[in-house]
Amino acid sequence: MRRAGVEPNHITFVTIFSGCAHFPAKGVLFGPPLHAYAWKLGLDTNTVMVGTAVIDMYAKCGGVDFSRLVFDGLDMKNSMSWNTMMDGYMKNGKVDNAVELFEQMPPRGAVSWMVLIGGFVKKGQFEQALEWFREMQLSGVEPGYVTIIAVIAACADLGTLGLGLWINRFLVKQYFRDNIRIKEPHAEGRVQGRGAQLHWSFYACSQAGLVNEGLHYFDNMKRIHRITLRIEHYGCIVDLYSRAGMLEDVLNVIKNMPMKPNEVGAGSLLAACRTNGNISLAERLMKYLYELDPGVDSNYVLLSNTYAADGRWDGASKVSKNMKALGIQKMPGFSSVDID
């Protein structure tokens, strides 16, 4: 990519760090120097997307202490960065650190509780999972579908029939309440709130690999709650399919969206294409994006990044030449920095 004269941006680094996280053996080797490069460009601490991707990469490569250093150095943190750091602690067996971080969090949403409770279940610490589930109830935060699944697993292992029956009653109550809300007139504010809740449910399903459940939420938003879908909602579906390796479905979603796809959606598919070695699908996506809007420089940059990540420098160079031939210039954002 560098030889082709293409400058990396925040999307490039998010894609690369995500790839390192998926392949820890190689991530240990390539992750730190890439992080150093992002640091030289000033992208690791002042861009929360990049910083969160670095946190996730180090955690999945066994370097959760480095994740914490990056987390503490972020100029700005959002719920995603907090949850990613906490999940990293859980996956590396540092449960006490995860709990400590959770207690330091600003207002905690359903996803943060899901990360904590789900982490305990994955570690086989079912009693602690149920204790924190009770704390969640006392806090007034309603559990999402993924949290309920985790708690049911804990109940099944511990044989706590009483709590299992309570959860069953909770689900029945939740079902009827949701249906009552639909019938209530003048409930626009509630529908918007429900849309935010379902958006986070998408994220939870994506993290847990629950494709069918995620599609269920998506369908409910359109068919039952009559919510006007935005680019963020389609982005969740793209991410859901991408994580599951269902790349043809991703391309179909992008082609049939009522609005133009953005860099994040296209980047998610290209990252999955690179992970799965499916360069032909990446080329098909880029062909569609070219036809949709041939003058957008980011489309060419994304394809060049994909070629470069696969070691196909000839393809990256060809993309750069095509840009010059068409008179398309990459929008300037960062100066060139040599790597010693």
| Domain identity same for 322 and 233 | yes
Whether residue 121 is found in the same domain as residue 174:
yes
CA torsion 71-77-82-85 (nearest 10°) is -20
State the average pLDDT over residues 276-294. 78
pLDDT tens-digit series, residues 197-240:
555 555 556 555 667 777 887 887 778 777 777 777 787 788 77
Digit-coded pLDDT (tens) for 182-196: 233 223 333 444 554
Q: How many domains does the chain have?
A: 3
Same domain for 81 and 119, yes or no, is no
pLDDT in tens, 75-125: 888 889 999 999 999 989 899 999 999 999 988 888 999 999 988 988 888
CATH code at position 298 = 1.25.40
Is 206 within a domain? Answer: no
pLDDT at 25 over 70: yes
Task: Judge whether 299 lies within some domain.
Answer: yes
Instruction: Report the alpha-carbon distance of residue 27 to residue 58 in Å, rounded.
Output: 8
Residue owning tokens 């008179």: 327
The mean of the pLDDT values for the chain is: 75
Which of residues 106, 129, 160 is at a domain's end?
Answer: 106
State the average pLDDT over residues 306-331.
76
DSSP element (H, E) containing 11: helix 10-22
Question: Which residue in 309, 306, 313 sits closest to 30, CA to CA?
Answer: 309
Residue 207 forms part of a structural domain: no
| Same domain for 58 and 11 | yes
Residue with tokens 């809300």: 181
Q: State pLDDT tens for residues 138-157.
A: 888 888 767 877 777 677 66
57 vs 323: which has the higher pLDDT: 57
Q: Which residue has the higher pLDDT, 307 or 53?
A: 53
Within a domain: 215: no
Pair (68, 117) in one structural domain: no
Query: Does a structural domain hold residue 272?
Result: yes
Query: Is position 23 within any domain?
Result: yes
State the Cα–Cα distance between residues 209 and 214, nearest whole angstrom: 9
pLDDT at residue 40 greater than cutoff 70? yes
Confidence at 245, pLDDT banded by 50, 70, 90: confident
Mean pLDDT (whole number) for 298-325: 78
Residue 32 belongs to domain spanning: 1-106
Residue 21 belongs to some domain of the structure: yes
**Which of these three, 88, 106, 124, is where a domain ends?**
106
In whole angstroms, give the CA distance from residue 300 to residue 74: 30
What pLDDT is stored for residue 258 in this prediction? 86
Domain shared by 99 and 170, yes or no: no
Residues 176 and 160 in one domain: yes
More confident residue, 157 or 58: 58
Of the two residues 216 and 67, the one the predictor is more confident about is 67
CA distance 28 to 93: 19
Task: Determine the 3-state secondary structure of 91 from DSSP.
Answer: helix
Same-domain pairing of 70 and 139: no
Q: Which of 193, 218, 243 is the last residue of a domain?
A: 193
pTM: 0.52
What is d(CA 163, CA 157) in angstroms, rounded to the nearest whole number?
12
Shared domain for 179 and 236, answered yes or no, is: no
202 within some domain = no
* 27/54 same-domain check: yes
Are 8 and 101 within one domain?
Answer: yes
What mean pLDDT is predicted for residues 313-323?
Answer: 82
More confident residue, 46 or 219: 219
Looking at the fold, whether 89 and 113 belong to one and the same domain comes out as no
Residue pair 267/10 in contact (Cβ under 8 Å)? The answer is: no
Burial class (CB in 10 A: 0-12, 13-18, 19+), 226: exposed
Whole-number pLDDT of residue 68: 94
